[in-house]
Amino acid sequence: MQVVSMHQAKSTLSQLVKRAATGETILLGAYGKVEAKLVPATSSDVPQKYIGLLAGKLTIPDDFDAPLPEELLKSFEGDAA
């Protein structure tokens, strides 16, 4: 496999990306030494998102948004005795 020089890669990046998108692996480097690899992105690289994964497993108490007790507020402010 041919190593594409950094200079050539900078000037032809869009073409190299198109080649990689078709499945080709592009080796990038300097003086014939491979320093990086340009590979096609696959759907497995993106983590799966599961909507509703915790549905029914969490409960929110009815007083969730009620004011905090005065002693707890003071402890947050550093006035706890």
pLDDT tens for each residue of 2-47: 899 999 999 999 999 999 999 999 999 999 899 999 998 875 666 7
Residue 50 in any domain: the answer is: no
| Strand locations in 1-81 (E) | 3-5, 26-30, 33-38
Rounded to whole angstroms, the Cα distance separating 39 from 24 reads 7
Residue 32 in any domain: the answer is: yes
The answer to whether the Cα torsion of 55, 57, 60, 62 is positive or negative is positive
39: helix, coil or strand? coil
Residue 23 in any domain: the answer is: yes
Domain residues for the domain of 24 are 3-41
pLDDT tens digit sequence for 54-79: 889 989 999 999 999 999 988 988 87
Residue 52 has pLDDT above 70, yes or no: yes
